[in-house]
Amino acid sequence: MKTILWIHGFPLSPDVFEKQLAIENALHLMPSLPGFGDSAPPDGPMSIDDYAARMLSELDRKGIDKAVFAGLSMGGYICFAALRLAPERVERLILIDTRETADDDQGRQNRHATIEKVRAGGTAPVVEAMLPKMLTRGAPEEMRERVRSIMASASPAGTIAALEAMALRPDASPQLASIRVPVLIVVGEEDTITPPADAGRMAAAIPGARLERIPSAAHLSNYEQPQRFNAAVREFLR
Ligand code: MLT
């Protein structure tokens, strides 16, 4: 049986993977990043490598050597860091609505503006700004509300630490050609945060990578179209 380490995105929690529990014959590990879900906020600044180190300690705690690393968006950035830090522990990789490149100057400025908003008014403005990009317009209202409540569980300290870490993360492009594990890349066709062009670029650069484009899905392709998403994962793990 394979272990899948599901690493959530920003500003989310492991609940964003609740529909992946239907994938059989796998041990699902779904830790919360510091300051998200049920995890205490970090004591100080975090880097993307620090998040990856936490995920590796999660495997240590369970006595697991290797896992399939599955990262959604920021979770994907953390997967690239884990591959740099401990490639021997990554058995396979599932990159979900993510990208390999670092932030550009404008992206970093936007992160810092968002940090100021969180300091001034908590996480609500971030949640409201990101919610429309998470799902397609056609998503059912109760799904939208569920995603809103998942995002609302993020703490201000966790949110600020994650924004700083994402702003400073390195470019993972130089790593792609040397990835030797099987890779599945999944993207919602209507993702505007990490659009299909990002997924296509990664798929072209990673030897043997499979690319799955999911129709009628935006940034949370695993949440909006779980049947299609889970089928792609089952096939990949077979
Ligand atoms: C995420 O979903 O984790 C974030 O949108 C990633 C990002 O802001 O770069």
Residue 68 confidence (pLDDT): 98
Q: List Cα–Cα distances, 81 to 24, 74, 135, 174, 207, in angstroms.
A: 28, 11, 27, 12, 18
Residue 16 confidence (pLDDT): 98
Residue 47 and residue 74 in contact, taking contact as beta carbons nearer than 8 Å = no
- For ligand 1, say whether the CB of 229 is within 6 Å of any of its atoms: no
- Ligand 1 centroid–CA 121 distance in Å is 20
Confidence of residue 234 (pLDDT cuts 50, 70, 90): very high
| Sheet with 183-188: strands ordered across | 26-29, 2-7, 67-72, 90-96, 183-188, 210-214
Q: What is the mean pLDDT of residues 53-75?
A: 98
Confidence of residue 150 (pLDDT cuts 50, 70, 90): very high
Q: What is the mean pLDDT of residues 57-85?
A: 98
pLDDT per residue as tens digits for the range 85-111: 999 999 999 999 999 999 999 999 999
pTM of the model: 0.98
Q: What is the mean pLDDT of residues 1-15?
A: 97
- For ligand 1, say whether the CB of 69 is within 6 Å of any of its atoms: no
Residues 6+ apart with CB under 8 A from 58: 5, 29, 31
3-state secondary structure of 180: coil
Tell me 15's DSSP state: G
Confidence of residue 15 (pLDDT cuts 50, 70, 90): very high
- Ligand 1 centroid–CA 1 distance in Å is 30
Closest CA to ligand 1's atom 5: 10
pLDDT per residue as tens digits for the range 155-209: 999 999 999 999 999 999 999 999 999 999 999 999 999 999 999 999 999 999 9
- For ligand 1, say whether the CB of 77 is within 6 Å of any of its atoms: no
